[in-house]
Amino acid sequence: MSLKYGGDYNPEQWPEEVWVEDVRLMHEAGVNFVTVGVFSWALLEPSEGQFEFGWLDRALDLLHENGISVDLGTGTASPPPWLSSNYPEILPMDRAGTTLWPGARQHYCPSSPIYRERASILAGKVAERYANHPAVIMWHINNEYGCHVHECFCDESAVAFRTWLREKYGSIDAVNDAWTTNFWSQRYTSFEQILPPRVTPVFENPSQRLDFKRFSSAELFACFMAEKVAVRRFSEDLPVTTNFIGVFRHVDYWKWVSELDVISDDSYPDPLDPDAAMGAAMSRDLMRSLGGGKPWLLMEQATGYVNWRHVNGTKPGTMMQALSMQAVARGADGINFFQWRQSRGGAEKFHSGMIPHSGTRSRIWQNVVQLGADLTKLDLLEGWSVNAEVAFVLDWESWWASEGDGHQIQLNFHDNLLEWYRPFYEANIAVDFVSPGADLSGYKLVVAAHLYLYTDATAALLGAYVKAGGTLLATYFTGHVDGNDQARLDGYLGTLQDVLGLSIDDFSALAATGTRSSIAVTSERWGILECSEWSEYLRLRGANVHARFSGTDLDGMPAITSHAHGRGTAWYIATRPNRAGIARVVVEIASSAGVVPVVSGLPLGVEAVNRGAALFLINQSDRDVEIPLDGFDVLSNQQRFRPTLGAYASLVLANATEGDRRLAASLAEVAAR
């Protein structure tokens, strides 16, 4: 089998005579896989219950004749005009009561019975017609669930929310207890009184908000399942996917993955962001982790610019290839783009494509052709996996609860998470993400960054992991509440107090700007660390102090601690050091846990990842760098000695640290094909 290479192919945007040119160029670029029909509802079902498949038959036949496999969309991502015109009640409503109208896409309430019914009918019709079409090898359900409409506050959503609550809680008193409704006179006497958390005079009930996030994520999952069930009625075996969108706040992907045969991701790092490659790496690590380490697909990326940021730069030089290599290195078995041919019109006509507006004479097309050729040299990698010694606990429920109103800070969980991920990325230490209930035994270090909410069960798992010899690193904003977003009394943290050897007496945000925005932390090991955002009044219960606050009423109080618990160690960091400080502290903690980088001593900006026995070295910078290694490079099909790597260029070496000569030989064999 080959790595999959291609993109979204939307033949309905072009006259059929262009299709012939399309398949010719697909061959030229090495494309072997395209996704078809994602936004075809209006053409497949031009009026309610009337289906027209002729054009799609012709497109799929043409692709099949040319040896190109198809990931076939169910076509349900954007309701056609007739649907919202016939049934305006499907339109979503925001928390202020504003209807979101047609004219873009995803204008449906996830709880709308009519939307779900019509989407399932279409998905079933598509599956029925094409289950046995020889081009079709995968089903692609809907598109980027929740990317625009992740919550709906309409009356139909209210009904569905009540149903969800009834199922979760059983009785209205259980809701009242979980939501602390005795505060502010909110006690309900009937489920019928409950509403979605629409706009209120002031802060909403945080537990209600948390349950509404859970509900909203679950409703999107229910939309997915309704379509999947419809597809499975006609196709029992073909793998099913839906395209995720990275480390996305609004959908709890852990709850989805058991129903997906293939994990796939859409990834659009901002070329103008100096941290673009790091953010992309985090997404790729999450995708690999969602599938438990199994290969995944990069389902969408851009060849150059996108159209939807305020300012959109194109990917300079060969940045596109570098990010693609990163995905393969981190476990992807396919690289795909949105979309094959850049649209002439519509909202995304300035979203780049594999064939840009300027056609095949362009730099973009040359990059596409080169990447296609490079990927064919990596076919043997397919299925090989990445091993990580470090795991980050990622819990969407905690994320949601931590970013609500009424906290000491307006935590940006995603950006903070990235700051704790950064030292691992920069030191080329592989990282997995794990769900709060996951088995941790395989990891040398587990990071619980800002894990504001956890259940007693999660705390017990983390404690058992340490007791058995693991190293835990917890940061501030961890363990404040239980699963109902109710405070853990008497020192926060719950049973992790014993594990960390401390309690929290009080905490205080630091100001966003000005003289009260930073605090010094001093340490014999790390010198003076400049810290911001947060500070805490810790009460030691056995922990060792590695660094202390300096100045203000916190002067001399502990800031960074470790505690021996069982056979393991638990670290705690009670404030936010700046980047250099985080790097110093975290790398030492990782090292003390026995965590080893893939390669040490690489120039800044070079990413090193082992996938199986292959060592990827990717220059994510715009400068030439020298690589202090020798090895056989599969991409250039030659032995390289301390090579210079140009801007955004990559090497794929037989693993220099293991020196597996058999691998080098087999890779060379592939590369020579």
Applying the rule CB under 8 A, the residues between 605 and 664 that interact with its own copies are 622, 647
Instruction: With H, G, I as helix, E, B as strand and everything else as coil, classify residue 631.
Output: strand
Shortest separation between residue 373's beta carbon and its own copies, angstroms: 20
Total residues belonging to the chain: 673
**439 versus 490: smaller Cβ distance to its own copies:** 490
**255 versus 363: smaller Cβ distance to its own copies:** 363
Instruction: Tell how far CA 390 is from the center of its chain.
Output: 17
Q: Which of residues 541-570 bind its own copies (CB under 8 A)?
A: 552-554
Q: Is 59 in the site for its own copies (CB under 8 A)?
A: no
One-letter identity of residue 474: A
Binder of its own copies out of 6, 7, 30, 304 (CB under 8 A): 304
Q: Point out which span in 408-416, 427-435, 471-479, 660-668 binds its own copies (CB under 8 A).
A: 408-416
Site mask, its own copies, residues 171-210, x = CB under 8 A?
--------xxxxxxxxxxxx-xxxx-xxxxxxxxxxxx--
| Cβ–Cβ under 8 Å, residues 80 and 41 | yes
How far is 431 from 134, CA to CA, in rounded Å?
39
Q: Point out which span in 160-168, 299-307, 459-467, 600-608 binds its own copies (CB under 8 A).
A: 299-307
Question: Could you confirm whether 219 is annotated as catalytic?
Answer: no
Number of residues counted as binding its own copies (CB under 8 A): 128
In eight-state DSSP terms, residue 477 is S
Shortest separation between residue 186's beta carbon and its own copies, angstroms: 7
Question: Could you confirm whether 669 is annotated as catalytic?
Answer: no
For 109, 303, 305, 344, 363, the CA distances from 350, given in Å and listed in that order, are 28, 12, 7, 9, 16
For 298, 319, 511, 533, the CA distances from 326, given in Å and listed in that order, are 11, 11, 38, 32
**439 versus 456: smaller Cβ distance to its own copies:** 456
**244 versus 465: smaller Cβ distance to its own copies:** 244
R_g over Cα of the chain: 26
**312 versus 326: smaller Cβ distance to its own copies:** 312
Binder of its own copies out of 58, 294, 516, 661 (CB under 8 A): 516
Instruction: With H, G, I as helix, E, B as strand and everything else as coil, classify residue 167.
Output: helix
**514 versus 601: smaller Cβ distance to its own copies:** 514
For 30, 178, 187, 448, 539, the CA distances from 490, given in Å and listed in that order, are 62, 19, 26, 21, 11
Q: Could you say which of 45, 156, 300, 607 is catalytic?
A: 300
Hey, CA dihedral for 378, 380, 384, 387, is it positive or negative? negative
Site mask, its own copies, residues 129-168, x = CB under 8 A?
------------------xxx-------------------
Shortest separation between residue 490's beta carbon and its own copies, angstroms: 5
Q: Are strands 332-337 and 296-300 parallel, antiparallel or unpaired?
A: parallel
- Token digits of residue 298: 């990069």
Q: Could you say which of 144, 151, 397, 536 is catalytic?
A: 144
How far is 583 from 585, CA to CA, in rounded Å?
6
Q: DSSP string of 365-424?
A: HHHHHHHHHHHHTTGGGTT-----SEEEE--HHHHHHHTSSSSSS---HHHHHHHHHHHH
Site mask, its own copies, residues 239-278, x = CB under 8 A?
--------------------------------xx-x----
Q: Which of residues 75-134 bind its own copies (CB under 8 A)?
A: 75, 77-82, 85, 92, 96-107
**77 versus 652: smaller Cβ distance to its own copies:** 77
How far is 235 from 422, CA to CA, in rounded Å?
43
Q: Is 600 in the site for its own copies (CB under 8 A)?
A: no
> Active-site residues: which are they?
144, 300
